[in-house]
Structure 1
Amino acid sequence: MPWYIKTEQFRGPAQDMREHLAAHRRWVRQQRQQGQVMVSGYLVDGHGQPGGGGLLILQADTYGAALALVQQDPMILSGCVDWRLQGWTPVVGDLSLLPQQSLL
């Protein structure tokens, strides 16, 4: 199944988005519990500090299916991020996802 990556950049300070970030984490957990292959996290700067954005990696049958799914993300629905969805084709190496219970 194809891979897709959603990158996002916060439109404001992270502390102003706590409610939306919490809703996003709940949404990702729910998607994973329903069998969706998905990993989410935040981007950090060179000092390990949150850098004002995030990354979501997921599998979907088509770009349209991936787009329909990420458009349900509370971070997008809230309008608090600029985002981009792209297909991703791994070429070298294997992608091993962490066990579901260790994420979020």
Structure 2
Amino acid sequence: MAWFIKTETFRPETIALTIEQRSSYLKAHRAWIAQQAACGRQIRSGFLVDSRRRPGGGGLLIFQASSYVDALDWVRQDPMILADLVTWQLQEWIPVSGDGWP
């Protein structure tokens, strides 16, 4: 299994939504991630913050898939992508050093 990274940022139209309007989409995204992890997918998900720990820098998803095509098919099921709320990029990640994670 290969590792992949999906990065994303809110579209300007998404930023213009109120927190309450975005909340249902964020909850759906988190539920999807939790369901995928519960099914055994190796996955890490989170959002980016600035030096004052304010969100708004986008999100990061690290996960395993058998191929780029499978990763792309899977990531397109993300509720944030389905709702067209983010611009995103998918790349395979080849770790070369670290402490054993992932």
TM-score bracket for this pair, using the shorter chain length? 0.7 to 0.9
1:56 aligned to which of 61, 65, 77: 61
Name stretches of at least 5 consecutive residues in structure 2 with no aligned partner.
Answer: none
Task: State the identity %.
Answer: 52
1:86 aligned to which of 91, 95, 102: 91
Could you say what the CA RMSD is over the residues aligned between the two structures, in angstroms? 1.5
Q: Which runs of 4+ in 1 moved over 2 A?
A: 94-97
| Offset, 1:46 | 1.5
SS of the residue 1:64 aligns to: helix
TM-score normalized by the length of structure 2 = 0.88
1:31 aligned to which of 12, 32, 36: 36
Alignment deviations for residues 5-33 of structure 1 (CA, whole Å, 9 cap, x no partner): 00000112272421111000000000011
Q: Distance in 1 between matches of 2:57 and 2:34?
A: 21
SS of the residue 1:79 aligns to: coil
Name stretches of at least 5 consecutive residues in structure 1 with no aligned partner.
Answer: 98-104
Give aligned pairs, total.
Answer: 97
TM-score normalized by the length of structure 1 = 0.86
